Amino acid sequence: MHPPVRLVAVDMDGTLLPTFGQVVSRRNAAALRAVQEAGIALTVATGRRAAYTAPLLEGVGLRAETPLITSNGAVTRTLAGEAIDRCHLDARVARGLCGVLRPFGAVVFTFDRPGKGELVLENLEQAHERIALWVETNRNAIEVVEPLERALEDGDDPIQGMVAGGMDKMKQAERALKASPWKVACECVRTEYPARDLSIVDLLPPGVSKGWALERLAARLGVDRRETMAIGDNWNDLRMLEWAGQPVVMSNAADELRAMAKLRGWKQAPLNDHDGVAVVLEAMLAKQSVKA
């Protein structure tokens, strides 16, 4: 028997957002507001950086103090931009990762600073070929530095790195990373989009993940993991789902992830394109309202 939910963490892409859209649906938005109105803490947990996340939530009606777990757990800020938590990937490690991962796809590093230079890469054409929408959306924040190692001088530590490309190539990149001296110096988290033959391998400080950030946020709020619900759809959500006492996997998640969830007894939400987040949250609120 689960205790009442006191904290909800919701992923964005493939979960809160529709498959081919960047607007939170009316039903999902209403469900998020209802969670806050019921006195339950809410966080959006995403692989996106904070500046790429907040604008998508502006019309939802969430409170300014709503915490956002961004960059796959490396940075936590309020919707209004107030800093809560942050960690960095050592610049020396980042430079080493460039040499390992450059042969496999577009390598990008994210810095926690506003404006141009927040995102640094060395081959804009290569990135545009694989993640064109991302490039166009983030163009004002992108700086091209060649070679990329020049942007990673000592003391200029990024918060996150990533390499993006086809799924087979990214599996090769992961194997190369695991065979390198840098495997213990960073955390590797994969996000896959099979329909687009796109995989993104995120590079984080050791131990950092959405789950790590959610655990720290829950501790600040005085919420137990058993009172925490997490909703997600991809491999970068796995640590968050594993930590939360009440995990929910979207029906549009990869078959392997859904099979894992079934074996572990996790709940399954309807498709993201069918307002699956709202369906789960509405049911949770109704159940807790009856108990109250």
pLDDT at 58: 92
Residue 56, C-beta contacts closer than 8 angstroms, at least 6 positions apart: 12, 17, 22, 23, 24
pLDDT value of position 128: 79
**pTM score, two decimals?**
0.93
Q: Tell me what pLDDT residue 122 has.
A: 92
Count helices and strands in the chain by DSSP H and E runs: 10, 14
> Is the previous residue joined to 147 through a cis bond, with omega within 30 degrees of 0?
yes
**Which residues of the chain are under the pLDDT cut of 50?**
none
Separation between Cα atoms, residue 133 and residue 111, nearest integer Å: 20
Domains of the chain with CATH codes? 7-86+208-291 (3.40.50.1000), 91-204 (3.30.1240.10)
Residue 153: predicted pLDDT: 85
Are the C-beta atoms of 280 and 248 separated by less than 8 Å?
yes
At 142-156, the pLDDT tens digits run 999 999 999 998 678
Tokens representing residue 277 in the block: 């987040």
pLDDT for 239-283, tens place per residue? 999 999 999 999 999 999 999 999 999 999 999 999 999 999 999
The whole-number pLDDT of residue 193 equals: 87
DSSP 79-134: TT--EEEE----HHHHHHHHHHHGGGSEEEEE-SSSSTTSEEES-HHHHHHH-HHH
